[in-house]
Structure 1
Amino acid sequence: MLFAYTISCVEITDITATTVDVPLRELDETLGIGPYVTNHGQVESMERVLVRVDTDEGLTGWGEMRVFLSPRATEAIIEDGIGPLVIGQSPFETERLRRQVFIEYTNIELFFAAVETACWDIVGQAVGKPVYELLGGWSAPEQTTARNRDAADAEPAAEQEIEFAFCLGILPPEESRVKAREALDAGFSVLKTKAGQNWKQDVERIRAMHDEVDGELEFRLDPNQGWTVDQAIRVGAALEDSGIYLQYMEQPIRTNAHQQLSNLTSRLRQPIAPNEDTYIPHNLRSLIEAGAMDIAVLDLTPAGGIGGLRQQAAIVEDAGIPFTHHCAFDLGIRTAVILHAAHGIPGFSLPPDTTYYAWEGDVIESPFEVTNGRIRVPDEPGLGIDVDQDAVERFQI
């Protein structure tokens, strides 16, 4: 009866968005990665939009996303676009809200995702349960191997930890060596590096890092659509000739070229893993039908939140395709969401990406600890995090 009362009575009363800018630790620091160079530019700090959802029962939930175009534009879409559509409604009805929000000419799910995760946070608090329990998959650990890869030898506490992949920008081969050693010494087993500016140097960097760690790290290579088909084939073949088999090659060519991706999957023994392609509605089924995807790199933000991610996970799991979760320079709020999702949605079989180890600061009161490449899933109600308002003010732009 209490649960029914909670559902019927809690209403969303306000939605606010605040942008912060948090710097990355510099490259000369251990596990520092700034400036983080990609095929499209470089990052020394990252603007993140923090979304707060308040209710008439005094419960507050949080979400987080990257800036779209500008802080003012992102905040306006959330507060002035989504706010009027959901204020006065129940945060328990996340799926109905996700399906009803609509703004013409805009993929509004991208912006609604942060509101949706805040609603999950509120629901968990209202019923006194962590979000991962509400998702149901945590009770089937054999189906969630991202957190159970070494279950036979793991300590009991490790059952509620998620393994992550270390992320690194484009660096010269010798500098990449140093960071690969740092990642291995810190307990990571997978390193993802950006690529795409010079495919020959991309090959040399992977060779240098592989040599430095004596093959003890697996590698992911992500050019962010930066190669042509023939370049991707050359990269994959050159690494194979060196005895290096990537965990996957992420979105090597442009999006919406599914037949070309299919050709890559048939010509290379390096697994192909679309990422940006999965941001486009209904592309997952097209990729599966075309045989253009060995691994899926999903992201809950373009999916519309936890509910959308769970829907995508079911599609690729049903197709027998392994999947993991993308990193967008996530602070503590979105990192918490990813932890709950990877722990609570069955099928995550590869470590999600993260750059969490490289932040100069965070906006939550008790920042996560990255130990041996793993982060413990919070077990407090909701997302299990409290936002540090002083930190928000310090980093706010």
Structure 2
Amino acid sequence: MSKIESVTCTRLTTPLHTPFVTALRRTSTTDSVVVRVTDTDGVTGWGEAPQVWQVTGESLAGAEACVAGPLRERLLGADADDLGPLTRAVAGAVARNHGAKAAVDVALHDLVARRRGVSLPVLLGSTTHRVPTDVTLAAGTVDDLAAAAAARVADGFSVLKLKVGTDAASDVARVSAAREAVGPDVAIRLDANQGWTPREAVRVIGALEDAHTDVEVVEQPVRAEDLDGLAWVTARVGTPVMADEAVYGVRDLVEVIHRRAADLVNVKLAKCGGIGPARTLLELARAHDMGTIVGSMMETHIGVGAAASLVAAYGTTLTSDLDAAWWAGSSPVRGGLRYDGAAVVLPESPGLGIEELV
């Protein structure tokens, strides 16, 4: 019987090919803690904890301390194949620290998949290794968004996610310009990243509806903690509304469902704590006829590979948001996923298929 022998952390900074700009922040890098869990047979599983101060509030230093301390203590000497009990132990080891727990949860799933000689999608119950993704357009001027929209369609993407919420007064013009640039056959969704007040959200969404911009969905229009405001917006617009930052775990989603605060939910591993909790959220949403996508923070091929594997196995209502690693100037790992137009292609080699950092 193989035991877990080591749990290690490495900080990783990956330059982006284009600055990523939202209503919450601007960044030119992806900053993560890479976690590796190794057993006594020498098999290693990989996971990732991204640093996104404005969303999760978690830091690289905090993730390292959590992984190297209480999470590592729960794992050392444990049966490497005991996936269910191990992931439950990780989930209950500390309060919050969702990114750190997600990194260890994913590393354990990757480890078990490698030990069994199957890819992570297959471990999760899928035979699919190719899943579609949208692509995000960073917040910018009217001309910037129109040009970026046309460029991404030329790259093969058919679902565009526009970052808005930086200026409610001009958001309608930016979205209208993007629609004009790509025509009627491309799906456009919006992510305000909490940038509007409820009244601004209703006013902007209503104006977009009147302008026939055919927006697919609007994500997190108001502050995460303002569930009353989110419900108020959802009840007053025809465009579907998606909760993102408002939902971390099961209790959050139950409250959103109870209040009818949103039509869909964006499930992210680094928000909820890993693959196990994410599966629960997807199943809960479906049980209540709520739409779903799986998203990612600004993560590398490690975190996005895990999220895409979950989508391959479970599917989502709309095309998921798995483009974070596409923004990297180059892959920070050897092996792992690749992009083929608007598709994430996952390796059929064991686990996430990652061999080493480069």
Relative to the length of structure 2, the TM-score reads 0.93
Q: Which of 71, 75, 84 is matched with 1:82 structurally?
A: 71
2:235 corresponds to which residue? 266
Identity value in percent: 26
2:11 corresponds to which residue? 19
1:291 corresponds to which residue? 260
Change (3 A) 1:369 1:377: closer
Q: SS of the counterpart of 2:230?
A: helix
2:54 corresponds to which residue? none
Letter in 2 for 1:11: K
Q: Deviations over 1:335-354 (max 9, x none)?
A: 21112111112445423241
Q: Deviations over 1:53-78 (max 9, x none)?
A: 11111110000121265433321221
Matched residue count: 352
Q: CA deviation at 1:13?
A: 1.2
1:110 corresponds to which residue? 99
Does 2:111 align with 1:122?
yes
1:210 touches 1:216 (CA, 8 Å); kept in 2? Answer: no
Does 2:32 align with 1:43?
no
Q: CA deviation at 1:112?
A: 1.3
Rg (Cα) greater in structure:
1
Q: CA deviation at 1:191?
A: 1.1
Q: SS of the counterpart of 1:287?
A: helix
Q: SS of the counterpart of 1:365?
A: strand
2:45 corresponds to which residue? 61
Calculate the aligned-residue CA RMSD, in Å: 1.8
Change (3 A) 1:354 1:109: same
Change (3 A) 1:40 1:256: closer
1:330 touches 1:354 (CA, 8 Å); kept in 2? Answer: no
Q: Which of 237, 240, 243 is matched with 2:209 structurally?
A: 240
1:6 corresponds to which residue? none
**Structure 1 gap segments, 5+ residues each:** 1-8, 26-32, 140-158, 392-397
**Structure 2 gap segments, 5+ residues each:** 52-56
Change (3 A) 1:301 1:71: closer
2:289 corresponds to which residue? 320
1:296 touches 1:316 (CA, 8 Å); kept in 2? Answer: yes
Q: Please give the residue correspondences for 1:70-219 in structure 2 after superposition, counting only pairs within 5 Å.
A: 70-101=59-90, 102=92, 106-136=95-125, 138=126, 160-219=129-188
Change (3 A) 1:189 1:350: same
Q: SS of the counterpart of 1:44?
A: strand
Letter in 2 for 1:49: V
2:325 corresponds to which residue? 356
Task: Answer 1 or 2: which has greater strand percent.
Answer: 2
Letter in 2 for 1:92: D
Q: CA deviation at 1:259?
A: 3.0
Change (3 A) 1:321 1:199: same
Q: SS of the counterpart of 1:57?
A: coil
2:50 touches 2:99 (CA, 8 Å); kept in 1? Answer: no
Q: Deviations over 1:250-303 (max 9, x none)?
A: 111112332322222221011110001111441111111211121111111222
2:13 touches 2:29 (CA, 8 Å); kept in 1? Answer: yes
